[in-house]
Amino acid sequence: MYQRSVLDNKLRVLTSTMAHTQSVSMVICVGAGSRYESDELAGVSHFIEHLPFKGTESWPTARAVSEAIEGVGGVMNASTDREMTVFWCKVALLHYKTAFAVLMDMVLHSRLDPEDVEKEREVIQEELRMTYDQPSYRVDLLIDEAMWPDQAMGRDVGGTPETVAEIKQKDIREYMHQQYNPANTVVAVAGNVTHEEVVDMLAETTRNWKPLESLDWEPATDNVDGPLVKVERRHSDQTHLCLGVPGLSLTHPDRYAFNLMNTILGDGMSSRLFLNLREEQGLAYDVHSSSSNYRDTGALVVYCGVEPSKTNDAVKTIVKEFQGMHQAPSEQELNKAREYTKGGLLLRMEDTRAVASWLGAQELLQDSVRTPQEVVESLDAVTPADIARVAEKFLNDEKMRLAVVGPRGGVKALTGMLRF
Same domain, 118 and 254: no
Q: Using CA atoms, how far apart are residues 72 and 82, in angstroms rounded to an integer?
A: 32
Q: What letter does residue 64 receive in the DSSP assignment?
A: H
Query: How far is Cα 78 from Cα 65, in angstroms, rounded to an integer?
Result: 13
Q: Are residues 182 and 284 in the same domain?
A: no
Q: Is the domain of 160 the same as that of 266?
A: no
pLDDT digits (tens, 9 = 90+) for 35-45: 999 999 999 99
pLDDT greater than 90 at residue 222: no
User: Which of 37, 49, 218, 321 is labelled catalytic?
Assistant: 49
Dump pLDDT digits (tens) for 244-303: 999 999 999 999 999 999 999 999 999 999 999 999 999 998 999 999 999 999 999 999
Q: Is 365:82 a contact under the CB 8 Å cutoff?
A: no
Is it the case that residue 61 has pLDDT exceeding 90? yes
Q: Which helix (H) or strand (E) covers residue 388, if one does? A: helix 384-394
Task: List residues bridging with 27 in a β-sheet.
Answer: 88, 188
Task: Read off φ and ψ for residue 115, nearest 5 degrees.
Answer: -65, -40
The verdict on 232 and 97 lying in the same domain is no
pTM equals 0.96
Sign of CA dihedral 106, 110, 115, 118: positive
Residues 150, 253 within the same domain:
no
Boundary of a domain, candidates 161, 190, 205: 205
What is the rounded distance in angstroms from the CA atom of residue 373 to the CA atom of residue 375? 5
Same domain, yes or no: 245 and 368: yes
| 163 shares its domain with 272 | no
Residue 210, in any domain of the structure = no
- Inform me whether the pLDDT recorded for 237 exceeds 80: yes
321 within some domain: yes
| Same domain, yes or no: 92 and 161 | yes
What residue numbers bound the domain in which 294 lies?
228-417
Q: Does 307 lie in the same domain as 237?
A: yes
CA distances, 113 to each of 42, 79, 116, 173, 360 (Å): 21, 21, 5, 11, 29
Question: Does the active-site annotation cover 204?
Answer: no
Does one domain contain both 37 and 157? yes
> Which string of b and e fits 311-343 if b means at least 16 CB within 10 Å?
bbbbbebbbebbeebbebbeeebbebbbebbee
Residue 407 in contact with residue 306, Cβ under 8 Å? no
> Which domain CATH number covers 201?
3.30.830.10
Distance CA 201, CA 212 (A): 22
Higher pLDDT, 410 or 208: 208
Question: Has residue 217 been placed in a domain?
Answer: no
